[in-house]
């Protein structure tokens, strides 16, 4: 017997935890796993909201049966078509051939192109309504959070927002499924890593979605990943609001590369320059030893980003180059930026970082420090100053509110 979890009368979590997939979207590590949350409403009509990745279908079906037994499923609401949620649609249709799939115009194309499904589909518009009996659902289109077909579904009796990927996070659930049943601190970093890696590029659309949902009385937020927010649903909306406005915490992330320790020595001087101030939220990552997803997360978290890199093959160190390409792609904004680095016989490292700074319209800290082979005492003094001035800039923003 598979375990479902009751959320409210007639509404159950039928999601699964995936602790064996190592990499999400073929790119993002999952050290704590991930949950694919699905929900079922057992009323006069039975509706399922999103499915799970295909590798978990048997467990998923067991959970459905644990709630409705031999009853049939009338509707599958598809809030999002990415295959971590849509991967079991076809199998579910085989089990329940009369089931109607509810989606919007954009959902239709994905159903056909991913799975060859062209029938059993009912298209809903923005603010569309579906009555299940005691429970009534309304649909709200939230395009590009983070795919074009994305929508959310609101259950009006219990005031539950089924929010698709929005307000979700990495991390398999730890027995509890609600924010008040789990150690939420264990999930915090993974929620921000999920936001910044998966959703962050679409901040404008996240803002539109938040504004659109403002008039709705939301008592519970049930996303497709991570904890269900019932003790304080406003708290996760506030976090998404802040992150999608590119607001940041007072702190610094230093991301550096070093082949023989010279750029690392400069990094230590930069960090020391920050230490004699009362902002101590400093994170230091070696770009060669830290997956880029964690670098993106901390760049999103903190007000200041400092990049330090050697030159390699007359260009920027390749892993640093990869990181700044990700930053450009994710369109992170409103950050203080500090730069330092080294070269042996030609430039190419720091000059590429400068180009990155010019393209992105960052608030650049003076000085930019570049050492020839190994840093001199003067170079290290300059690095110290770079660290000190970075903290001063953070404080000036705080003063400006
Ligand atoms: Fe969780 Fe966009 O899929």
State if residue 50 touches ligand 1 by the CB under 6 angstroms criterion. no
pLDDT at res. 277: 83
For 123-139, how does the pLDDT look when each residue is reduced to its tens digit (9 = 90+)?
A: 999 999 999 999 999 99
State if residue 18 touches ligand 1 by the CB under 6 angstroms criterion. no
State if residue 53 touches ligand 1 by the CB under 6 angstroms criterion. no
Name the CA radius of gyration of the chain, rounded.
24
Q: Distance between CA 198 and CA 25 in Å, rounded?
A: 9
Q: Token match 């949902």: residue?
A: 213
pLDDT at res. 400: 53
Architecture of domain 252-395: 3-Layer(aba) Sandwich (3.40)
State if residue 225 touches ligand 1 by the CB under 6 angstroms criterion. yes
For 101-122, how does the pLDDT look when each residue is reduced to its tens digit (9 = 90+)?
A: 999 999 999 999 999 999 999 9
Report CA(57)–ligand 1 centroid distance (Å): 17
Report CA(10)–ligand 1 centroid distance (Å): 25
For residue 275, give the 3-state DSSP assignment. helix
Domains of the chain, residue spans: 5-244, 252-395
Report CA(86)–ligand 1 centroid distance (Å): 9
Nearest-atom index, ligand 1, CA of 36:
1
Nearest CA to ligand 1 atom 1: 165
Report CA(44)–ligand 1 centroid distance (Å): 30
* Contact criterion met (CB below 8 Å) for 178 and 170: no
pLDDT above 90: residue 276: no
Nearest-atom index, ligand 1, CA of 150:
2
State if residue 85 touches ligand 1 by the CB under 6 angstroms criterion. yes
Q: What is the DSSP string of 314-365?
A: TEE-HHHHHHHHHHHHHT--S-EEEEEEEESSS--HHHHHHHHHHHHT-EEP
Q: Distance between CA 389 and CA 274 in Å, rounded?
A: 8
Superfamily of domain 5-244: Ribonuclease Z/Hydroxyacylglutathione hydrolase-like (3.60.15.10)
Report CA(386)–ligand 1 centroid distance (Å): 40
Report CA(92)–ligand 1 centroid distance (Å): 19
Nearest CA to ligand 1 atom 2: 82
What per-residue string of b and e applies to 68-77 under the rule 16 or more CB within 10 Å gives b?
beeeebbbbb
Nearest-atom index, ligand 1, CA of 165:
1
Query: Once rounded to an integer, what is the mean pLDDT over residues 324-347?
Result: 97
Alpha carbons within 13 A on the beta-carbon side of 47? 26
Report CA(80)–ligand 1 centroid distance (Å): 7
State if residue 165 touches ligand 1 by the CB under 6 angstroms criterion. yes
State if residue 82 touches ligand 1 by the CB under 6 angstroms criterion. yes
Report CA(23)–ligand 1 centroid distance (Å): 13
pLDDT at res. 401: 44
Supply the mean pLDDT for the chain: 97
For 174-227, how does the pLDDT look when each residue is reduced to its tens digit (9 = 90+)?
A: 999 999 999 999 999 999 999 999 999 999 999 999 999 999 999 999 999 999
Query: Once rounded to an integer, what is the mean pLDDT over residues 9-33?
Result: 98
C-alpha distances (whole Å) from 145 to each of 79, 89, 168, 169, 211 are 11, 21, 11, 14, 13
pLDDT at res. 106: 98
Nearest CA to ligand 1 atom 3: 82
Report CA(33)–ligand 1 centroid distance (Å): 14
* Contact criterion met (CB below 8 Å) for 297 and 198: no
């Amino acid at each position: 017997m598979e375990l479902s979890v009751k959320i409210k009368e007639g509404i159950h979590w039928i999601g699964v935890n995936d602790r064996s997939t190592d990499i999400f979207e073929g790119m993002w590590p999952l050290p704590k796993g991930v949950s694919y949350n699905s929900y079922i409403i057992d009323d006069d009509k039975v509706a399922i909201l999103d499915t799970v990745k295909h590798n978990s279908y048997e467990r998923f079906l067991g959970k459905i049966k644990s709630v409705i037994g031999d009853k049939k499923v009338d509707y599958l609401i598809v809030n999002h078509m990415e295959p971590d949620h849509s991967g079991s649609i076809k199998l579910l249709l085989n089990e329940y051939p009369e089931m109607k799939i509810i989606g919007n115009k954009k959902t239709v194309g994905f159903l056909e192109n991913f799975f060859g499904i062209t029938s059993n589909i009912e298209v809903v518009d923005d603010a569309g309504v579906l009555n299940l009996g005691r429970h009534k659902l309304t649909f709200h289109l939230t395009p590009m959070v983070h795919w074009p077909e994305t929508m959310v579904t609101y259950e009006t009796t219990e005031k539950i927002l089924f929010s698709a990927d929005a307000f979700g996070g990495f991390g398999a659930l730890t027995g509890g499924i609600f924010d008040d049943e789990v150690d939420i601190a264990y999930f915090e970093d993974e929620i921000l890593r999920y936001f910044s890696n998966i959703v962050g590029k679409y901040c404008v659309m996240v803002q539109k979605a938040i504004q659109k949902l403002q008039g709705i009385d939301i008592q519970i937020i049930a996303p497709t990943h991570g904890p269900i927010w019932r003790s304080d649903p406003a708290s996760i909306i506030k976090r998404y609001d802040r992150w999608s406005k590119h607001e940041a915490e007072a702190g610094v992330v230093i991301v550096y590369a070093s082949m023989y320790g010279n750029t690392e020595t400069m990094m230590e001087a930069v960090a020391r320059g920050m230490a004699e101030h009362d902002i101590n939220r400093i994170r230091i990552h070696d770009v060669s030893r830290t997956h880029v997803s964690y670098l993106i997360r901390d760049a999103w978290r903190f007000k200041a980003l400092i990049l330090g890199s050697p030159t390699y093959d007359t260009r920027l160190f390749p892993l640093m180059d990869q990181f700044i390409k990700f930053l450009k792609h994710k369109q992170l904004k409103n950050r203080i930026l500090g730069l330092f680095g080294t070269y042996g016989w030609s430039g190419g490292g720091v000059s590429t970082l400068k180009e990155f700074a010019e393209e992105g319209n960052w608030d650049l800290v003076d000085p930019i420090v570049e050492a020839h082979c190994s840093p001199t005492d003067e170079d290290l003094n300059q690095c110290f100053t770079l660290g000190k001035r970075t903290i001063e800039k953070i404080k000036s923003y705080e003063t400006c509110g």
